[in-house]
Amino acid sequence: MRSRLFHLLAYLPLHVLHNLGAVIGWLAWLLSPIYRRHMRVFMEKAGLQAYRNAAIAESGKTILEMPKLWLRPFDEVVSRVVRVSGADLVQKTPAAKRGLIILTPHLGCFEIVGQYLVSHRPLTAMYRPSKHAWLEPIIQAGRGARITLAPTDLSGVRRVLKALKAGEAIIMAPDQIPGKGEGAWAPFFGHPAYTMTLAARLSETDAEVVFGYAERLPYGSGYHLHFRAPAEPLHGTLDERTAQINGEIEVMVRECPAQYLWSYNRYKVPRHVGLPP
C-alpha cells in the first residue's frame, strides 16, 4: 500500500508535491513534541530561529519530492535543475585522474545533487540502507539506477577509495551522525556536535574537495545547485579538518537557512560516545 502510494505521488507536478509537503511539515510540527523541540532548540543554537516557519514547510517538501526524484525518468529529473553555480568545479573531465569529493549536507534537495552529478561523470555515493524494508527497493531503483552505492561500512570505504583513485567522483553527507569510532566532537554553530571524520580522512588523499547543495526554488519551479571550493584548502590534524568542514557547512546553511533539515538531531550524543569535553 505504501509503495503504491509512493509511485502515485511520483506523477504529481512538483509544485503540488511541495504544497502537500508544506502541509505535512506543519502537521509533523503540530503533532510531534519531539519534532518541535528538536527544531526549536537547534535553530536557537544557530541563531536562526527567525526562519522557523519557513523551515517547517521546507522540511515537509523534502519528504514529498522524493517520489518524483526516485521514480521518474532520469532525464526528467535532471531537467529540474534550472541553474548551476560553480558548475566548472564538478564538470571537469575524469581524464585528469584526480578524484573529486563532493560534500553535500542535509540542506535543500540533497537527492538531486547526485542525479545531476552522475549525468556528467561516474559517481559513487556513501549510503546507509533504509530501516523500512518496503522503501529499500524504491531507493535502489531510483538513487541506485546510475549511482554506485557504497554502504557505510569498511567495504564501502574501500569502494570509495577505489573510485577516487580512478579519478572518479564520490558524494557524501558530512553532517550525518557517525557510528562508533567514526566521529569526533567539533563545533557546529558554536556548540559541540559529534561529527563524522570520514570526510576529513578522505580529504587527505589527492582528491579535490567541493561543497554543494541544491536550493529548492519557489512554486515548484526547479532547483538551483550551488558548488564551491572551501574558503581554504582543508589542512591540519584530523580534528582541525573536521572542524573546518563544519565551518563550511555553516556558511552554506546561513545562505539558505530555511532549507536545512533542522529536525535532524545534529547534536545527538550517541550511546557509545561520552559527553563532549
Instruction: State pLDDT tens for residues 13-47.
Output: 999 999 999 999 999 999 999 999 999 999 999 99
Inter-axis angle of helices 33-46 and 52-64, nearest 10: 120
Question: What's this model's pTM, rounded to 2 decimal places?
Answer: 0.93
The closest of 32, 90, 83, 84 to 56, measured between CA atoms, is: 32
Percent over 70 (pLDDT), the chain:
97
Q: What's the whole-number average pLDDT of the chain? A: 91
In the prediction, which pLDDT does 93 show? 56
Amino acid at 259: Q
The closest of 125, 126, 149 to 137, measured between CA atoms, is: 149
Grid coordinates representing 40 are 526549536
In the prediction, which pLDDT does 4 show? 83
Distances (CA, A) of 119 to 39, 75, 104, 215: 34, 9, 17, 19
Residue ranges per structural domain of the chain: 77-259
